[in-house]
């Protein structure tokens, strides 16, 4: 096949054994792991976990990638569609909240064939970097119940610097709009499991110890830590913040120690994005790593107060608050 599945439009040959595109993967499916996975968002994993298919290869080249052997060193095994169908079916039969495809953008043709065979009775999750072609996404319509894009960067320059892609923000913004068009508003069942919708793995010298104090790092997980976010500044912050709310700061937001739990607790609380005049570099990198949007805007922080309502248009790169639009 001549492949143009992802937005890079390599127009490259991919046969059963060789891939000449950016992802370097052949047409044949390669997977690094197929297993129950219990550590996705709670609305995905629930109590029984998700059956996760981790594909080998990737259309990005993130300098901070934690799975580089899988994404760019081709760690994995070759499987046929029928072999993968048997593996997935056996796992689904044991019980699962959902079926998830991880880093799937270069294997969408195989995913469609697989779903035609197994017709899963649980929600199907497309867990992606967000760098997806509109044309390819449209082929998935009706197959995918939940899109889980990891929106990494708020502008194209960051995408080029950290993931070697020139048009990440432009492409991903439009891709997410297409995902939302397909799935509509989220639907959560009585057990707290998402059945349909789109999840956004989004994110003056405020230091990380003020975001989450060091004594709480001994707690076993972010769910227990998040109740202490900003405790020294506002003891009721964790009770007041709602999913979709924003954190706004001044210069050098997230300075101090490099603890990755600082952006982690904000994301765990459902904070949609952090907007500041500038960020400490390590906080910014940690936010990128977990998919929390960290957006630089020089003018907005001085124009807002506690309790103001804001609307963020990620696809346009704008925020509206108090009757004004900021970029």
Write the pLDDT tens digit of every residue in 103-132. Answer: 999 999 999 999 999 999 999 999 999 999
Residue 201 has pLDDT above 50, yes or no: no
Assign 197 a pLDDT band (cuts: 50, 70, 90).
Answer: very low
pLDDT of residue 11: 95
pLDDT of residue 261: 95
> How high does pLDDT run on average in the chain?
89
User: Which pair of tokens denotes residue 163?
Assistant: 């993931």
Residue 273 has pLDDT above 90, yes or no: no
Q: What percent of the chain has pLDDT over 90?
A: 59
Please give the residue that has the higher pLDDT: either 15 or 186.
15
Please give the residue that has the higher pLDDT: either 211 or 203.
211
Assign 199 a pLDDT band (cuts: 50, 70, 90).
Answer: very low
* pTM of the predicted structure, to 2 decimals: 0.63
pLDDT of residue 315: 63
Positive or negative: CA dihedral 94, 36, 261, 295: negative
pLDDT of residue 175: 94
Beta bridge pairs of residue 148: 127
Q: How far apart are the C-alpha atoms of 257 and 279, rounded to whole Å?
A: 13
Mean of pLDDT values over 83-95: 96
User: Which pair of tokens denotes residue 169?
Assistant: 């923000």
Neighbours of 161 (CB within 10 A): 10
Second CATH level (architecture) for the domain 2-198: Alpha-Beta Barrel (3.20)
Residue 198 has pLDDT above 90, yes or no: no
Write the pLDDT tens digit of every residue in 50-63. Answer: 999 999 999 999 99
Write the pLDDT tens digit of every residue in 139-183. Answer: 999 999 999 998 888 889 999 999 999 999 999 999 998 998 998
Q: Does domain 208-326 sit in CATH 3.90.1150.10?
A: no
Would you list the domain boundaries of the chain? 2-198, 208-326
Assign 202 a pLDDT band (cuts: 50, 70, 90).
Answer: very low
Distances (CA, A) of 327 to 129, 155, 300: 23, 11, 9
């Amino acid at each position: 096949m001549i492949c143009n599945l992802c937005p890079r439009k390599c127009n490259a040959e991919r046969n059963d054994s060789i891939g000449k595109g950016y992802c370097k993967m052949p047409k044949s499916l390669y997977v690094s792991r197929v297993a129950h996975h219990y550590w996705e968002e709670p609305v995905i994993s629930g109590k029984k976990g998700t059956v996760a298919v981790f594909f080998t290869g990737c259309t990005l080249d993130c300098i901070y990638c934690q799975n580089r052997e899988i994404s760019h060193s081709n760690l994995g095994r070759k499987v046929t569609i029928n072999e993968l169908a048997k593996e997935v079916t056996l796992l689904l039969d044991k019980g699962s909240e959902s079926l998830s495809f991880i880093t799937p953008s270069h294997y969408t043709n195989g995913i469609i064939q697989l779903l035609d065979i197994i017709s899963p009775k649980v929600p199907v999750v497309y867990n992606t970097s967000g760098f997806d072609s509109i044309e390819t996404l449209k082929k998935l319509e009706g197959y995918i119940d939940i899109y889980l894009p990891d929106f990494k960067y708020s502008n194209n320059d960051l995408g080029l610097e950290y993931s070697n892609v020139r048009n990440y923000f432009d492409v991903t913004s439009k891709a997410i709009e297409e995902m939302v068009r397909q799935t509509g508003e989220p639907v959560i069942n009585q057990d707290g499991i998402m059945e349909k919708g789109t999840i956004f793995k989004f994110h003056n010298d405020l230091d990380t110890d003020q975001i989450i104090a060091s004594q709480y790092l001994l707690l076993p997980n972010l769910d227990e830590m998040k109740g202490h976010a900003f405790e020294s500044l506002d003891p009721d912050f964790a009770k007041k913040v709602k999913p979709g709310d924003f954190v706004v700061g001044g210069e050098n937001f997230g300075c101090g120690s490099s603890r990755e739990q600082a952006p982690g607790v904000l994301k765990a609380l459902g904070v949609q994005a952090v907007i500041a005049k500038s960020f400490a570099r390590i906080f910014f990198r940690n936010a990128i790593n977990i998919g929390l949007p960290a957006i630089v805007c020089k003018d907005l922080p001085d124009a807002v107060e506690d309790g103001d309502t804001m609307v963020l248009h990620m696809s346009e790169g704008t925020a509206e608050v108090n009757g004004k639009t900021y970029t």
